[in-house]
Chains A and B, each alone.
Chain A
Amino acid sequence: MMWPFTPAFPLQIWPSQASVGAREMDALFLTELGISALMVLLIFGCIFFFAIKYHRRSPNERPRPIRGGIMLESAWSGIPLLVFLVFFFWGAKIYFANAAPPKDAMQIYVIGKQWMWYVQHPAGQREIDELHVPAGRDVQLILTSQDVIHSFFIPAFRIKKDAVPGMYTTEWFRATTPGSYHLFCAQYCGTSHSHMIGTVYVMKEADYEQWLAGARGEPMAVAGGKLYVRYGCDNCHGRICPTLSRLYMQQVGLADGRIVRADDAYMRESILDPGAKIVAGYPNLMPSFRGVLSELEVLELIAYIRSLGTPALAGEGAGIGAGQGLGTAAGIAAPDAREQQGNQNATPPDANPHVTQSDRSSEIQKREGGEVRTQ
């Protein structure tokens, strides 16, 4: 009988380090490992030493009790606490760097589905259980799930993020070393959870360009434009419903007086639950597309709306109605007047990154988006 155990030598004891973040995390981990090893040695050493040195020699021994000293107690609570604080700040620094992707990162959409990873590049390339990325560039993944919670885990990059149904989460990395790496689903998701795995290919820039050229597919904005026509969205939008032109990242005044930013989450909600946030001055006419559109189609529609442009004069004041409290009248209700009114309000502090970022992505997609509109 064949013994199925064929260990891979040399034995792997450390995961490959293939991203900038991986190096930073390993440094922190090694530090904590070192301190922990010292602590374990100290405790085990004391136990062994005391156990031998103070071994009971006669059954009638009565050692004198020692009351604890406040100094000693403070020392061994205070010193660990200080060490912990250092670890906390160090860890938080890495975590926040991890949580906020650079503004100019290239974006790739990932949809988890029992039991596969569907990867969609904005320019149209589609992959299943594979992810091709260039080395040396920041890549942001935008994750969602079609059914249950999954988790997109690339050990070589030391990143992991849950893909949660009904919301978009994100993670990013800058791969350093070309090669192929594991991709796992880390959140238990049912029967074939352990088969929801794949490969991440980190490629040299030139190879990546070649791959891009070879992989076929329709750009997301184009696909979204087709959906837009197929579902008859153009019958109403721009006529009796708010226009979608230059809507992306616009401040929108709602019927109930609130003001929201037309980001991806807002668009997703407005497609699936149109009644949830109604634009001021418009009737609640739109049917829900929940169950009609797949997660991918929603993303494509959002990509299409992005390709229709972001607010003009974005740098100075993207927000119409923002900060007005009663911003309904000046909001999206009067889109044609937007350019003139655009700079009347201060920009919200966090508006700029969005605008810059989405300007870039709309640049990529402008060509194809334009074609769709003329169909």
Chain B
Amino acid sequence: MPSTSTYYKIFALLMILAFATTGIAFIDLGIFNPIVAMLIAVTKATLVVLFFMHVRYQGRLTFVFAIAGFCWLLILLLLISTDYLTRGWLPLPGAIPPMGF
């Protein structure tokens, strides 16, 4: 079990990251804006999972279960984008669906 001071330190870190994510959103980074925002979010979530949810102090099994959901979500996102990302690739005259990007 972590000590209370660990909790406070993690909380301070989370606060910094929270304000950082809002602040960075106002800086124009082009396509990196959402990427940076997501990276910060993943960092914050990792901190919460590791320390507040004690995964750091438990066995490997808990760790596997903690990330399984996210891995499966990545499967969903990744494979679904094989469709949406490639919809416009084939040069089909008059047959390009509007949802491709």
Measured CA separation A208–B99 after assembly (Å): 37
Number of chain A residues close to chain B: CB under 8 A: 23
B95 contacts chain A at the CB level, 8 A cutoff: yes
B79 contacts chain A at the CB level, 8 A cutoff: no
| B94 x A353 contact (CB < 8 A) | no
| A265 x B91 contact (CB < 8 A) | no
Contact partner, B97, options A101, A103, A168, A353, Cβ 8 Å: A168
B19 to chain A, nearest CB (A): 29
A361 to chain B, nearest CB (A): 9
Q: Please, which residue of chain A has its CB at the minimum distance from the CB of B95?
A: A170
| B96 x A168 contact (CB < 8 A) | yes
B93 contacts chain A at the CB level, 8 A cutoff: yes
Q: Please, which residue of chain B has its CB at the minimum distance from the CB of A267?
A: B94
Q: Which residues of B contact A354 (CB under 8 A)?
A: 91, 93
Q: Which residues of B contact A99 (CB under 8 A)?
A: 90, 92
Residue from B93, B97, B99 having most chain A Cβ neighbours under 10 A: B93
| A353 x B93 contact (CB < 8 A) | yes
Q: Which residues of A contact B98 (CB under 8 A)?
A: 166-167, 265, 268-269
A32 to chain B, nearest CB (A): 25
Q: How large is the interface on B (under 10, 10 to 19, 20 to 34, 35 or more residues)?
A: 10 to 19
A257 to chain B, nearest CB (A): 11
Q: Please, which residue of chain A has its CB at the minimum distance from the CB of B94?
A: A264
Measured CA separation A263–B90 after assembly (Å): 13
Interface string of A338-363 (1 = CB under 8 A from B): 00000000000010011001100000
A107 contacts chain B at the CB level, 8 A cutoff: yes
| A350 x B91 contact (CB < 8 A) | yes
Which residues of B (78-101) have their CB < 8 Å from a CB of A?
90-99
Contact partner, A142, options B90, B91, B94, B99, Cβ 8 Å: B94
Q: Please, which residue of chain B has its CB at the minimum distance from the CB of A105?
A: B93
Q: Please, which residue of chain B has its CB at the minimum distance from the CB of A265?
A: B96
| A100 x B92 contact (CB < 8 A) | yes
Q: Which residues of B contact A168 (CB under 8 A)?
A: 94-97
| B91 x A167 contact (CB < 8 A) | no
Q: Please, which residue of chain A has its CB at the minimum distance from the CB of B100?
A: A265
A245 contacts chain B at the CB level, 8 A cutoff: no
Contact partner, A357, options B90, B93, B97, Cβ 8 Å: B93
Q: Which residues of A contact B96 (CB under 8 A)?
A: 168, 263-265
Measured CA separation A236–B68 after assembly (Å): 56
Q: Which residues of A contact B95 (CB under 8 A)?
A: 142, 168-170, 264-265
A223 to chain B, nearest CB (A): 17
Q: Which residues of B contact A268 (CB under 8 A)?
A: 98
| B97 x A100 contact (CB < 8 A) | no
Q: Which residues of B contact A263 (CB under 8 A)?
A: 93-94, 96
Q: Which residues of A contact B99 (CB under 8 A)?
A: 167
Q: Which residues of A contact B91 (CB under 8 A)?
A: 100, 350, 353-354
Chain A residues at the B interface, C-beta cutoff of 8 Å: 99-101, 103, 107, 140, 142, 164, 166-170, 263-265, 268-269, 350, 353-354, 357-358
- 7 additional A-B residue pairs with CB within 8 Å, beyond A100-B91, A168-B96, A263-B93: A103-B93, A166-B98, A168-B95, A265-B95, A269-B98, A350-B91, A354-B93
Chain B residues at the A interface, C-beta cutoff of 8 Å: 90-99
